[in-house]
């Protein structure tokens, strides 16, 4: 059980470095990709080699795009949004994903004030990453619960899974760039989440029990509700 935000200063430096590298690597990669496409179209031999090459290039590109989020975003747009609508759209997006693994998505969006000031796309990214991780932690199915409640001038979103859980060692490494226990993981999802939450004055707290499940609690400040009936 730990407070991930405490680590964010260290991660910020690692993130900046990662973003710098991503930027430098992406341009030559685009050029390599282009010339390989040309080679393939002029030379129909070695089709299966090209398949592997292009799927590996796609993977490098995915890692780079996650690393780039760690750079200061160029156009971060803070607007008033209903967090419940954002959460609902994330659930809709990942419903078929959940079905595939026999996971029931349960929502208790009970916060009375869910109005926050945020960049909608960035915040969606946070909850897509967290819900995806929860789904991936339950390979044999289970219930994934998404809950909100107000606490003081904050809203707390809890993502509760009944998955594999984490060891203390894994818990300690959470959020470190490139830390992953998955065969095809990038280990950048949570690093990106931490970065975005920090930009939104948010906080994240994790509790996990091996073999039982994991709970991520995300805290974000709410905007004061507009006065109800002013005449
Ligand atoms: P990735 O999903 O690509 O591995 P993340 O940064 O999203 O990268 O997650 C890093 C690691 O944290 C995962 O590989 C997994 O070991 C652990 N993890 C994250 N969320 C959960 C969860 N809900 N249950 C168990 N382990 C988790
Ligand atoms: Mg992930």
pTM of the model: 0.82
Closest ligand 1 atom to residue 190 Cα is 6
Closest ligand 1 atom to residue 181 Cα is 14
Ligand 1 centroid from CA 75, angstroms: 28
Question: In the structure, which protein residues have their CB atom closer than 6 angstroms to any atom of ligand 1?
Answer: 129, 133-134, 137, 161, 163-166, 170, 174, 179-182, 185-190, 214
Which residues crowd ion ligand 2, with CB under 5 Å?
133, 189
Give per-residue pLDDT as tens, 37-68.
999 999 888 999 999 999 999 989 988 887 77
Regarding an ipTM greater than 0.90, the answer is yes
What is the pLDDT at residue 76? 81
How large is the average pLDDT for residues 214-219?
98
More confident residue, 35 or 43: 35
Ligand 1 centroid from CA 47, angstroms: 35
Closest ligand 1 atom to residue 174 Cα is 12
Give per-residue pLDDT as tens, 140-190.
999 999 999 999 999 999 999 999 999 999 999 998 888 999 988 889 899
What is the pLDDT at residue 72? 60
Q: Tell me the backbone φ, ψ of residue 227, rounded to 5 degrees.
A: -55, 140
pLDDT band at 229 (very low <50, low <70, confident <90, very high): low
What is the pLDDT at residue 192? 87
Ligand 2 centroid from CA 211, angstroms: 18
């Amino acid at each position: 059980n730990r407070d991930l935000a405490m680590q964010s200063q260290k991660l910020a430096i690692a993130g900046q470095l990662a973003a710098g590298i991503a930027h430098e690597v992406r341009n030559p990669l685009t050029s390599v990709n282009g010339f390989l496409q040309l080679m393939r179209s002029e030379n129909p031999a070695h089709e299966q080699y090209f398949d592997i090459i292009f799927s590996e290039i796609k993977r490098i590109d995915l890692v780079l795009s996650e690393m780039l989020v760690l750079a200061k975003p160029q156009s971060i747009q803070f607007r008033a949004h209903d967090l419940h609508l954002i959460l609902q759209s994330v659930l809709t997006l990942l419903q078929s994903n959940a079905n595939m693994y026999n996971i029931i998505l349960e929502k208790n969006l009970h916060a009375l004030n869910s109005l926050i000031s945020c960049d909608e796309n960035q915040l969606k990214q946070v909850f897509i990453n967290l819900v995806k991780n929860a789904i991936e932690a339950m390979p044999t199915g289970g219930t994934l619960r998404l809950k909100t409640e107000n606490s003081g001038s904050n809203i707390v979103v809890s993502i509760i899974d009944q998955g594999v859980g984490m060891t203390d060692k894994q818990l300690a490494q959470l959020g470190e760039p490139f830390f992953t226990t998955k065969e095809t993981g990038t280990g950048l999802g949570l690093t990106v989440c931490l970065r975005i939450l920090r930009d939104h004055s948010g906080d994240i707290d994790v509790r996990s029990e091996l073999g039982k499940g994991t709970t991520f609690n995300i805290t974000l400040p709410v905007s004061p509700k507009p006065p109800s009936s002013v005449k």
